[in-house]
Amino acid sequence: MTGSWWKSAVVYQIYPRSFSDSDGDGVGDLRGIEERLDYLSALGVDVLWLSPVYPSPQDDAGYDISDYQDIDPVFGTLDDFDRLLSGVHARGMKLIMDLVVNHTSDEHPWFRAKRDWYWWRPARPGMTPGTPGAEPTNWRSFFSGPAWEYDEESGEYYLHLFSRKQPDLNWENPEVRQAIYAMMRWWLDRGVDGFRMDVINMISKDPALPDGPGGDGSAFYLCGPRIHEFLQEMHREVFAGRERELLTVGEMPGVTVDQAVLFTDPARGEVDMVFQFEHVNIDHGPSKWDIKPLDLVALKATMNRWQAGLASVGWNSLYWNNHDQPRVVSRYGDGSPLAAKALGTVLHLHRGTPYIYQGEELGMTNAPFETIADFRDIESINHYAEAGPSALPALRARGRDNARTPMQWDASPHAGFTTGTPWIAANPNHKEINAADAVSDPDSVFHHYRRLIDLRHTEPCVVHGDFTLLLPDDPSVYAFTRSYEGTELLVMANLSAEPAQAAIDPAWLDAELVLATLPDERSTTLRPWEARVYRR
């Protein structure tokens, strides 16, 4: 909204539960975030995105909201929020909120008072309500089991694409939409700078709610019939005419490039950018637990398709990590600081707005979960209940809790996150990987990320340059150029543990080496996990 200021911005995602605990109750909070603002400002990020801090039974770690216009006591108060927001603004940063309006908590007062704001359906004809298989459709929930919960009292079922404590709102009802727009205006009037919109491409459903193949109803709720109409209405009702610089980013599982062009075409007034999922879905089968090794050629191909598809209209968001994904340095890297730098370099030099997830700038890794008792996430716990102990290797590799262990501030107990007992154990590697050490070491992942952010702020080619993928079939080297008004950048990274010969024009070795993760050897051979950026 208002120009395209966000094209040169870098966004930092905070997962408040796990960021910084000021009061020793083991859960991060708003005052904890406030105490860390100078760290974020030193990193150089422009925008902070807060995962949900609203009152919530915390069934899905805050993505089940029971009051949209308050703060959960575990995180603080509205006064704490206002103080945090002014601290963010005082440092020249912005703050966006998580907007979770595909569903509420079943403990939101709306769920009892406003039955027709949700999706209710009778049992399948001829079946006894409440018995297995009698659900209105065969849809499966993202968190295992059917997407329908039986309600004894009314004898009907309600739809929940996520947990049974997250009933889906019925956006067909105009009262629902107006209530949400009013709530969004309330936050903007309070001073927030925009929203990250949770599963926003699921708000329009085919009202017939037909059965889907194998229980997959996604054809009837992903980018449904009225999705563009709803987002355009939201834009008019909430954002249009506001003079401030705002940011909207829609989380959209299953979105295609063609749809993303429509969602992000500024002329259509929908959202500024979307989170797509192709690049984080390529290392598994139809189920996220069916894990496969990374195919780098396929990763480059999908990234390239998104770069090309949004080159002239629309805009990309760029991310490796968030609170739902395992840590990229463990997933697409080998867990080392060098791999963290290489992956960061590749991502940040694409065209689009980069998102950093807390701890990514330290090279934080997946966690050494041993038994199911080490996990906290409903998705992992439900999957284990359904699939049994054989699910553990996949949970360890891909479980969302990998992203949710405490932010590693220092080498002290619990990584300096809390003086109490953390709600989930800190990764023992905080003795080696932590912010205190990283900030004082000019060669750290942290300082590399700081330089990447600085390059975006100072080199227009990073923001605006055309993107050309090189060596698409090379299984180890990720290389591309960017070009803008006579400036050309070459990015090349060896995303493997073996030396790799980069088949690029050796004349590039005479260009200015803008960023490098290893000492300059003026060679087209890249050392394991080495990354370089040249400019000419």
Annotated catalytic sites, by residue? 198, 251
The minimum distance between CB 204 and ligand ISL, in angstroms, equals 16
The smaller minimum CB distance to ligand ISL, of residues 180 and 463, is found at 180
319 binds ligand ISL (CB under 6 A): no
Question: For residue 143, what are its two tokens?
Answer: 């968190």
DSSP helix/strand/coil, 405: coil
The minimum distance between CB 378 and ligand ISL, in angstroms, equals 8
Question: Which residues ranging from 395 to 424 are in contact with ligand ISL (CB under 6 A)?
Answer: 400
**Among residues 6, 49, 54, 63, the one that binds ligand ISL under rule CB under 6 A:** 63
Phi, psi of 323, rounded to the nearest 5 degrees:
-75, -5
The smaller minimum CB distance to ligand ISL, of residues 56 and 418, is found at 56
The minimum distance between CB 508 and ligand ISL, in angstroms, equals 38
DSSP helix/strand/coil, 534: strand
Closest-CA residue to 278 (of 242, 314, 244, 306): 306
The smaller minimum CB distance to ligand ISL, of residues 60 and 270, is found at 60
- How far apart (Å, rounded) are the C-alpha atoms in residues 180 and 182? 5
- How far apart (Å, rounded) are the C-alpha atoms in residues 13 and 282? 23
Taking CB under 6 A as the rule, which mask of x and - marks residues 322-341 in contact with ligand ISL?
A: -xx-----------------
Planar angle of CA 162, 289, 344, nearest 5 degrees = 95
The smaller minimum CB distance to ligand ISL, of residues 279 and 451, is found at 279
The smaller minimum CB distance to ligand ISL, of residues 15 and 446, is found at 15
DSSP state of 291: B
- How far apart (Å, rounded) are the C-alpha atoms in residues 69 and 51? 15
48 binds ligand ISL (CB under 6 A): no
First to last CA, the chain: 33
Question: Which residues ranging from 71 to 110 are in contact with ligand ISL (CB under 6 A)?
Answer: 100
**Among residues 29, 60, 168, 233, the one that binds ligand ISL under rule CB under 6 A:** 60
- How far apart (Å, rounded) are the C-alpha atoms in residues 521 and 525? 9
- How far apart (Å, rounded) are the C-alpha atoms in residues 317 and 250? 10
**Among residues 27, 65, 99, 199, the one that binds ligand ISL under rule CB under 6 A:** 199
The minimum distance between CB 104 and ligand ISL, in angstroms, equals 10
- How far apart (Å, rounded) are the C-alpha atoms in residues 256 and 253? 9
Amino acid at 335: G
The minimum distance between CB 98 and ligand ISL, in angstroms, equals 8
**Among residues 198, 270, 283, 474, the one that binds ligand ISL under rule CB under 6 A:** 198
**Among residues 15, 162, 239, 375, the one that binds ligand ISL under rule CB under 6 A:** 162
- The b-or-e profile of 367-401 (16+ CB within 10 A means b, else e) is bebeebebbbbbbbbbbbeeeeeebbebbbbbbbb
Taking CB under 6 A as the rule, which mask of x and - marks residues 244-283 in contact with ligand ISL?
A: -------x-x------------------------------
CA dihedral 525, 526, 531, 536 (to 10 degrees): 0
The smaller minimum CB distance to ligand ISL, of residues 367 and 533, is found at 367
Question: Which residues ranging from 131 to 160 are in contact with ligand ISL (CB under 6 A)?
Answer: 142
**Among residues 288, 300, 414, 535, the one that binds ligand ISL under rule CB under 6 A:** 288
Q: Which residues bind ligand ISL (CB under 6 A)?
A: 60, 63, 100, 142, 162, 198-199, 251, 253, 288, 323-324, 379, 400
